Structure 1
Amino acid sequence: MTDSDLRQAFLSLREEFLEICRGRVGVIERNWSEINSGSEDKNISEALEFIKREAHTIAGSSGTYGYADVSKSARELEVLCAQLMDEGVNDMDAARQEELAAAVTLVFEESTRMFADPEIGTVPF
């Protein structure tokens, strides 16, 4: 296999990754909306667990496909969610809520840039 063949195979896999990643970002978005819904029935702990799991997957796979900024912001969101869950989400103060909002927003912004311009990712070939 030539470098050109490897590059093409990588780019093809990256296209698949981007489609799957859109769904993962959608899961984060839906659960973030649930946290902010004001509903009495909302389960913040469960929503944070979904966000943490999707952020973990996005962090690992986006780095593999050359999107370091998305990987970094998703990893930060994952770690923050884990911390908040350990601290007890029902006792989250305004500062922690703002920190979570900023982390989620950064993942949305970075992933939106990635989806709009897939060429911003590095290619190892």
Structure 2
Amino acid sequence: MQDSDIQARLAALREQYAERLGHDLQTLMAQARELAARQRTVEPEALESLRHGLHRIAGSAGTFGYPALGREAREMELWVQTVLETSVAPTSPMLTTLHDRLSGSYRLLEDSAKTTVGEPQSDFELVSGERSVRIAILAEGDTQVLLQSLSGFGYDCRGLSQVEEGHEWQPDVVIIDTSNLEPEVWQARIAEVPGAMRVLISDDGSFEARLQAVRGGAQGFFTHPLDVPSLERHLRQLVSLPQQDPYRVLIVDDDLELAEHFRLTLKGAGIESRVITAPATCCGACAISCPIWR
């Protein structure tokens, strides 16, 4: 799956989630309004239904660009949880207040613009000697996806335009996307970092293009659409890092949209994942030997 396809599917998921979120908030508002109008004690089952709905929103809203709404839902969930645990019957005014707060959250959904959800930063490093392997990327256009993908594997990545001649940070490898760059342009630019190994990405996968790359001193050649895991394995070979099995992740979540968002985000970083919605279907064994990976 190409990066553009992944981004398009993530955007579609965000739109789908926004629609679902509005529907869920309206349902919770109706439940709170109905409970506030009752003349008898509210059953724990009805409160548990409210809590579960709030819990679902609190756990997913931030991921899809609604962090403030997620925090509101978490606070309301904790209030309902406290009522359930203390067995204190909520009064009609208390439930009316909850309804009004839910209404405020619904207005927040309608009025607020979606914020950009940042990708999590890597909390580990691949160490070669005393530091991480440094990767510079030279390309015409947006390089953020590739930078994030390789950073997810633990590399110290920057755009080549950020590297100053004579600066302390010098790349070990330069990845050049030649698709929209003239040869004289990228050749002149990488001449400023003569000690770096070269890996070329091209739209042309012909024998002549590969031969020219080798004669030009390239130590790697890839074509579009880029296979990020294959690129990462080649980088390990170039810098003599120990080989490792591809990362594989098992996602267990009863929220299908949230799980699919995680799966696509991991896919964009070159990490394969599988989704199950019921923990009982997971045997508890290591994912490598688990039948769902076969």
Task: Report the TM-score range of the alignment, normalised by the length of the smaller protein.
Answer: 0.7 to 0.9
Residue type of the alignment partner of 1:27: T
Offset at residue 43 of structure 1 (A): 3.0
Task: Answer with 13-22 or 66-75: which moved more.
Answer: 13-22
Matching of residues 1-125 of structure 1 within 5 Å: 1-2=2-3, 5-40=5-40, 43-90=42-89, 92=90, 97=94, 101-117=96-112, 119-124=113-118
Query: What's the secondary structure of 1:110's corresponding residue?
Result: helix
Residue type of the alignment partner of 2:114: I
- In structure 2, distance between residues paired with 1:62 and 1:75: 10
- Change in CA separation of 1:59 and 1:35 when aligned onto 2, cut-off 3 Å: same
Q: Deviations over 1:69-112 (max 9, x none)?
A: 0100001111110101111132x4689x2xx6545433432332
Gaps of 5+ in 1: none
Larger-gyration structure (1/2): 2
- In structure 2, distance between residues paired with 1:5 and 1:93: 51
**CA RMSD after TM alignment:** 2.7
Residue type of the alignment partner of 1:18: A
Q: Which has the higher contact order (CA 8 A, sep 6+)?
A: 1
Q: Deviations over 1:29-54 (max 9, x none)?
A: 121012211334x6342322111000
Gaps of 5+ in 2: 120-294
TM-score by length of 1: 0.75
- In structure 2, distance between residues paired with 1:50 and 1:84: 13
Residue type of the alignment partner of 2:83: L
Structure with the higher helix share, 1 or 2: 1
- In structure 1, distance between residues paired with 2:99 and 2:68: 14
Residue type of the alignment partner of 2:117: V
For the 8 Å contact 1:70–1:107, the answer to whether it is kept is: no
Offset at residue 17 of structure 1 (A): 0.7
- In structure 2, distance between residues paired with 1:94 and 1:15: 35
Residue type of the alignment partner of 1:56: H
For the 8 Å contact 2:33–2:96, the answer to whether it is kept is: no
TM-score by length of 2: 0.35
Structure with the higher strand share, 1 or 2: 2
Q: State the aligned residue count.
A: 118
Percent pairwise identity? 24
For the 8 Å contact 1:14–1:65, the answer to whether it is kept is: yes
- In structure 2, distance between residues paired with 1:23 and 1:109: 14
Offset at residue 7 of structure 1 (A): 3.5
For the 8 Å contact 1:27–1:51, the answer to whether it is kept is: no
